[in-house]
């Protein structure tokens, strides 16, 4: 058989539309971390300081209750994007940012969210 008799297997998929994680409303980080993040998990910043506790998990972010955390400037619950997660071990989530920068990446839930 000659090489020209074989069709490149990638050619069969060339006409199919490419579906990316972002097209489904989820970032690659969300695709990785979302199945692992659970309500009740503890969230820490990049220095290991407590940020709060996960209360809810959505498609692109997770709600963190900061009410019992003394280190935080605000005790308002916030939604944090999965992109901020650096690591996870057991029931602990470690973020890529220090607690002083959490609010820059957070979205505050509306009364309808809570």
pLDDT digits (tens, 9 = 90+) for 67-113: 866 555 567 899 999 999 999 999 999 999 998 899 898 888 766 55
Which H helix or E strand runs over 81?
Answer: strand 78-81
| pLDDT tens for each residue of 12-62 | 444 544 444 445 556 788 888 889 999 999 999 999 999 999 999 998 899
Distance CA 63, CA 61 (A): 7
CATH number of 38-114: 2.30.30.240
Is residue 64 classed exposed, middle or buried when 0-12, 13-18 and 19+ CB atoms within 10 A define those classes? buried
- Write phi, then psi, for 7 (nearest 5 degrees): -90, 135
SS3 5: helix
Kindly compute the dihedral angle of the four CA atoms of residues 53, 76, 79, 58, in this order, to the nearest 10 degrees.
70
The residue ranges of every structural domain in the chain are 38-114
């Amino acid at each position: 058989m000659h090489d020209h008799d074989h069709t490149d297997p990638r050619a069969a998929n060339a006409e199919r539309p490419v579906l990316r994680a972002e097209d489904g409303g989820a970032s690659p980080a969300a695709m990785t971390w979302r199945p692992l993040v659970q309500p009740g998990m503890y969230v820490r910043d990049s220095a290991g300081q407590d940020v709060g506790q996960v209360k809810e998990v959505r498609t692109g972010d997770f709600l963190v209750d900061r009410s019992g955390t003394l280190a935080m400037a605000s005790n308002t619950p916030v939604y944090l994007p999965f992109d901020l997660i650096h690591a996870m071990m057991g029931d602990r989530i470690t973020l890529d940012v220090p607690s002083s920068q959490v609010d820059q990446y957070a979205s505050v839930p509306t009364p309808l969210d809570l």
